[in-house]
Structure 1
Amino acid sequence: MSNRIIVIGGGAAGMMAALAAKEHGSEVLILERNDRVGKKLLATGNGRCNYTNINLNINNYHGNNPKFSYVGLSEFNVDKTIEFFEKLGITPAIEENGKVFPLSFQASSVLDVLRYEIEDRGIELITEAQVSEIKRKNGFSVILKDKTTFIGDKVIIATGGMALPSSGSDGSGYTICKKLGHTITDIFPGLVQLKLESNFLRSLDGVKFFGIAGIYIDNKLVLEDKGDILFTSYGISGPPVLQLSRIALDYLNKGKNVELKVSIIHTKTEEELFEYLLNRFSFMPKKAIEAGLIGLINKRLIIPILKEINIDKEKVISSLSKEEIRKLTNILISWKFKVVGSQSWGNAQITAGGVNTDEVDNKTMESKIVKGIYIVGELLDIDGDCGGFNLQWAWSSGYIAGSNAARN
């Protein structure tokens, strides 16, 4: 008796689910709304496809119950992922922080080998097929917007979330899952640039520096990260900011007071920097403070910083009080801004929130509400940090779903 599995969505999780189901002996059909599969995959890792991370830890995952992901990530783990892709032709290149890329450093390489495999294994693929709903009757009827219907024994929903809608992720999967009886948690952009409240954003726009960013919730530091930070006309960007955005937006949605701290100088303690400034300024008593900061920080930061702490840029260094030098020290170590929101879905790398994981079996990815329906990847209320963790979740959840849908 054949087992026909329909996979909705030809992204990372969907392609992996289809390959796993076929490998376990099922007949498989992928329905992809775009004109080709894997569109979003091409944008990952700045077009280089950071497809996993050797330093993976359960703490890299978030959601109402991050531990939900543990079984899948353990069963189809990082080693198995690297081995799987190596057999397809992808030679791994491990970079800083454990990020794994194809040695070609082209996301297209990963997509090319997956597409080859789909075709080679005889998996049926229909593109420009937008699913509107699933009905249960003698198996499942998967109905497209144009009313074309496909019949299958099992259905794997891998439509992705809301992030990067230009790639086809428009949240339609949430509507499909809701119609099947699932609940969707609050969803918001993840790994996204933050909007700040400040009078200086226009003059800071484009200023980039290597520093530390931290998130304060109700005046308490909850998380910080280090790397390239970029001020923009709307707020702030850069890898550390993207990494912190999830926690910032989560608390902002809960009505908390959220602040972002930047440490422009992070290599000295506050006391060390204070002493250093006293010493530095002793060599240039006649200079105006504006000129006295050149060579210490980015020139375009000087005026906004002096305005923020109410020091006239023309003030001669010898007339600065110790209290003013202390203020300057403090802002260079910890400049705080109020977080007021984020850029839109078009700029977000992932979706935070999704289908409630209490309604899905984490050993199989099968719905507890409708047997024979499997839900994978970004559609679920699981999201990872930046650095290959989200793609690893796509591979793991897709593989578990495809294997189990075929076995049952």
Structure 2
Amino acid sequence: MKQVLIIGGGASGLMAAITAARNGAKVTLLEKNRQTGKKLLVTGNGRCNFTNRNQELSNYRTDRPDLVKEALESFSVDDTVDFFESLGILTKERNGYLYPGSGQASSIADVLRLTAVKEGVKIACDTKALAVKRINDRFAVETEGWTYEADALILACGSKAAPETGSDGDGYTFAESMGHTVVDPLPALTGLCVAEKDGGKVAGVRADGAVTLQIGEEKYCESGELQFTSYGLSGIPVFQISRYAARALNQGIECSVTLDLCPLRKRDQVLTRLKDRRAYTQERRGAAVLLGMFPDKLCSLLLERAGISLKKQGGDWTDEDCERLAAQIKGLHFTISRCRGYEQAQICTGGVPLTELDHTTMESRRVPGLYLTGELIDVDGACGGYNLQWAWTSGYLAGRAAAQEQKGIEVHA
């Protein structure tokens, strides 16, 4: 019976363990935390958006989307849903976003753990891998109290994001020790800090809008609910573009964002509305002139940016005042100083390039019998269940292949 060792009891690790065991392998899973699936418990605000019906490739950020496409075709959203429903999970769908019917992330984490145990997987919690070695045709993983050996090794250690869940980036170290390169892991799906000091004046405000990230000649646009914070900007649209900002800033490239706070109206329509307001806001001042358009604190910031005194009555606004204000509403600008750190990030961008793996099995092209899954690979998904779908897909492919007899794939130096 082939022995398979897995480091990491998160989403991809548990999927790999169950799949390998079902394919006849003797599986041992090492987990540094006291329980498996710790990061799963906080996904989707505790509700676990575990996949998404909309599988456009643009939702998977990587240098080789064609390889991701082929992998996803081998274990798809339908396969994921069938897998969890076979374990008793009732699926609930909201606009393509799929959740467990219980609305609890613990349902996913618990059913994976219970299934792994049922399939005969030996789970060793509170067990931190310290070093990984290849000895002849086998692998040895050193821990504080024991050295585990196996015929195949799956690295499912996660990234550096959300370190409170146990993610410390040791998987990158293990991969490098085995001869792999690692694209710098950087925070992604996180907030953006801005350089402008007046941004803090609107902390706590939420507003629907569109955000455009400008990096040189490149632009990345998202829309939805924006959140202004003490450090800058947050909200799902900001999370979606944060990985691009992280990459640019890491390379020393300046980037900025522009907010369109009336994305459904053209600038001349906004301008007309502002000019019309002068007729019925004659004696109002400051944010009161824009009453009903935006939250008060945001109104004040827009007026200040437009150079309109908060003491100036609406009836006294000039056409030039209205034009400057319309420009701010349609293009509130901020300079990005940095992304928030690993502690606040949901995932990381970066990791081992997919080209260094056989994308149909997740097996290393440099070390036969070594497999990588999930966030260790340089594939990061958008918000909406895409990172978990990648975890299920890569975990399944790795677990299935690791349980099979070695076929001897091409090894690259």
What's the TM-score, normalizing by structure 2? 0.95
- How far the C-alpha of 1:255 sits from its partner, in A, is 2.8
Distance of 1:310 and 1:61 partners within structure 2 = 42
Partner of 1:195: 193
Distance of 1:87 and 1:242 partners within structure 2 = 33
2:106 to 105, 108, 116: 108
The answer to whether 1:264 aligns with 2:261 is yes
Partner of 2:54: 55
1:346 to 334, 337, 343: 343
Instruction: Count residues in correspondence.
Output: 405
Partner of 1:68: 67
Distance of 2:287 and 2:6 partners within structure 1 = 61
1:364 to 336, 349, 361: 361
The answer to whether 1:224 aligns with 2:221 is yes
For residues 361-385 of structure 1, the C-alpha deviation after alignment (integer angstroms, 9 at most, x for no partner) is 1111110111010011100111110
For residues 181-205 of structure 1, the C-alpha deviation after alignment (integer angstroms, 9 at most, x for no partner) is 1110121001001101112133211
8 Å Cα contact 1:214-1:222 kept in structure 2: yes
Partner of 1:177: 175
Distance of 2:92 and 2:285 partners within structure 1 = 50
8 Å Cα contact 1:214-1:221 kept in structure 2: no
- How far the C-alpha of 1:227 sits from its partner, in A, is 1.6
Partner of 2:152: 154
Distance of 1:226 and 1:340 partners within structure 2 = 21
8 Å Cα contact 1:54-1:100 kept in structure 2: yes
Partner of 2:7: 8
Partner of 1:210: 208
Residue type of the alignment partner of 2:118 = D
For residues 84-103 of structure 1, the C-alpha deviation after alignment (integer angstroms, 9 at most, x for no partner) is 0000011111112x110011
User: Please, which runs of 5 or more residues in structure 1 have no aligned partner?
Assistant: none
Residue type of the alignment partner of 2:128 = Q
Distance of 2:287 and 2:358 partners within structure 1 = 61
Secondary structure of the equivalent of 2:107? helix
Distance of 1:290 and 1:157 partners within structure 2 = 55
Partner of 1:279: 276
Secondary structure of the equivalent of 1:186? strand
Residue type of the alignment partner of 2:317 = L
Distance of 1:324 and 1:192 partners within structure 2 = 35
Residue type of the alignment partner of 1:315 = K
Partner of 1:19: 18
Secondary structure of the equivalent of 2:184? coil
8 Å Cα contact 1:141-1:149 kept in structure 2: no
8 Å Cα contact 2:278-2:316 kept in structure 1: no
2:316 to 314, 319, 324: 319
Partner of 1:381: 378
Q: CA RMSD in A?
A: 1.4
What's the TM-score, normalizing by structure 1? 0.96
Distance of 1:212 and 1:232 partners within structure 2 = 17
The answer to whether 1:164 aligns with 2:176 is no
Residue type of the alignment partner of 1:372 = G
- How far the C-alpha of 1:388 sits from its partner, in A, is 0.3
- How far the C-alpha of 1:147 sits from its partner, in A, is 5.4
Distance of 1:55 and 1:363 partners within structure 2 = 22
- How far the C-alpha of 1:288 sits from its partner, in A, is 2.5
8 Å Cα contact 2:211-2:259 kept in structure 1: yes
Partner of 1:87: 86
8 Å Cα contact 1:51-1:100 kept in structure 2: yes
- How far the C-alpha of 1:155 sits from its partner, in A, is 0.4
Residue type of the alignment partner of 2:327 = N
8 Å Cα contact 1:63-1:382 kept in structure 2: yes
- How far the C-alpha of 1:161 sits from its partner, in A, is 0.6
8 Å Cα contact 2:277-2:314 kept in structure 1: no
Secondary structure of the equivalent of 1:353? strand
- How far the C-alpha of 1:289 sits from its partner, in A, is 4.1
For residues 305-343 of structure 1, the C-alpha deviation after alignment (integer angstroms, 9 at most, x for no partner) is 222222111112233221211010111111010011111
- How far the C-alpha of 1:253 sits from its partner, in A, is 2.3
Distance of 1:140 and 1:39 partners within structure 2 = 29
Partner of 1:400: 397
Partner of 1:234: 231
Distance of 1:116 and 1:105 partners within structure 2 = 19
For residues 174-233 of structure 1, the C-alpha deviation after alignment (integer angstroms, 9 at most, x for no partner) is 111111111101210010011011121332111111222221223x56222222111111
Residue type of the alignment partner of 2:133 = K
The answer to whether 1:244 aligns with 2:229 is no
Distance of 2:378 and 2:264 partners within structure 1 = 37
User: Please, which runs of 5 or more residues in structure 2 have no aligned partner?
Assistant: 406-413
Partner of 1:38: 37
1:133 to 131, 134, 147: 131
Percentage of pairs with the same residue: 37
